[in-house]
Amino acid sequence: MTAEAILAAAERIAAQGDSTPVPGRDPVNQAQVNTWVEAVGDANPVYTDAAFAAASVHGGLVAPPAMAQVWSMRGLHGKRAADDPLAAMMAALDDAGYTSVVATNSEQLYHRYLRAGEQVSASTRLEKVVGPKRTALGEGWFVTTRTRWLVGDEVVAEMVWSVLKFAPPVPDEPDAVPATRSATGLRIIDAPEYAAGALRPVRSLDTEFFWEGTRVGELRIQRWGGGAEGSAPSLRHPPGPMDPGGDLSAVPDYVVASGRGTVFSFVVHHAPKVPGKKLPYVVALVELEEGVRVLGELIEADPAAVHIGMPVRAVFLRIDDELTLPAWEVA
């Protein structure tokens, strides 16, 4: 499918306007509110304490506005409506070879609070499709929809939702994996084939030492010298900005870990597809000899043979001159 054909499909779908409002499975209810606020840690009593809510400006219990989308979710095995514009646009882009998707933006607007017993329905329109664009993930199209949540004919909330539908680049098969050794004896592998799926870390003053370490093949772990009450030095990973003991004057340094440890926990990823990776692959949480646990991919390992307690050692995947990722290999 050509770019012109994709734009024509987008124009046709957009011209259909708002989809038919689809009622949520359940009306607004206190049980789901209780579960949601506990999951996100929202302790506002106006959502759960009837007496407090009655004395508030709301005059009774209300649902968190950010739950708007909850009331229209279709469930684990739910199906989109036949006139759903996002589903239609995704299908068109799938047919054109843009088979991967990542969310890029979400903006929500709340018009009023909802109360238990109200039945919410949702309607969506396709707003715009922009592309093709070259991105770090691959060539793709940005798709934006607008969803309105209604109680009867009243719009109670809105959301502008954007996704990138892209075709991940297919990495070339390397003939060999060039590798060097760090000063600590750990392998550093040139692995540009991982670039398609590598998310760039957000570096800060608290984490820069870690990424500078991976660049030279060192697994650096943040060390604090002790808390305000004279506690023993402690290691922390991921790094944090403050002494665990509460000493505001403390300044951390780091230790270079041996890189050796054992698998504490792991998962085998079978689906969905991930750009730049062959399925299945293993992600392992490793307990180092120094006592801290570090997460990373376990490479060159048979997923069926991986087990808790398996000895592993660190290996470093040099994606490019700017990024080297820590990973694991069987010791």
For residue 227, the model assigns a pLDDT of: 47
How is residue 69 written in tokens? 């989308």
Neighbouring C-beta atoms of residue 10, cutoff 10 Å: 23
3 state SS for the chain: CCHHHHHHHHHHHHHCCCCCCEECCCCCCHHHHHHHHHHHCCCCHHHCCHHHHHCCCCCCCCECHHHHHHHHCCCCCCCCCCCCHHHHHHHHHHHCCCCEEEEEEEEEEECCCECCCCCCEEEEEEEEEEEEEEECCEEEEEEEEEEEEEECCEEEEEEEEEEEEEECCCCCCCCCCCEEECCCCCEEEECHHHHHHCCCCCCCCCCHHHHHHHHCCCCEEEEECCCCCCCCCEEECCCCCCCCCCCCCCCCEEEECCCEEEEEEEEEECCCCCCCCCCCEEEEEEEECCCCEEEEEECCCCHHHCCCCCEEEEEEEECCCCCEEEEEEEC
Q: How many residues does the chain have?
A: 331
Among 291, 316, 315, 326, residue whose Cα is nearest residue 201: 326
Residue type, 314: A
31-64 tens-digit pLDDT = 999 999 999 999 999 999 999 999 999 999 999 9
**pLDDT under 50 in the chain at which residues?**
174, 227-228
Phi, psi (rounded to 5 degrees) for 87: -60, -40
Neighbouring C-beta atoms of residue 137, cutoff 10 Å: 19
Q: What is the largest CA-CA distance in the chain?
A: 71
**Chain CA centroid to CA 136, Å:** 16
Neighbouring C-beta atoms of residue 178, cutoff 10 Å: 11
- Domains of the chain in start order, with CATH, are 3-32+45-167 (3.10.129.10), 179-219+257-330 (2.40.50.840)
**Pairing mode, strands 187-190 and 311-318:** parallel
Q: How far apart are CA 93 and CA 268, in angstroms?
A: 29
Q: How far apart are CA 281 and CA 313, in angstroms?
A: 17
Decide if 61 contacts 114 (C-beta within 8 A).
Answer: no
Three-point CA angle 154, 155, 156, nearest 5°:
105
Q: How far apart are CA 39 and CA 278, in angstroms?
A: 33
**Chain CA centroid to CA 230, Å:** 38
User: What's the chain's Rg over C-alpha atoms?
Assistant: 25
For residue 170, the model assigns a pLDDT of: 66
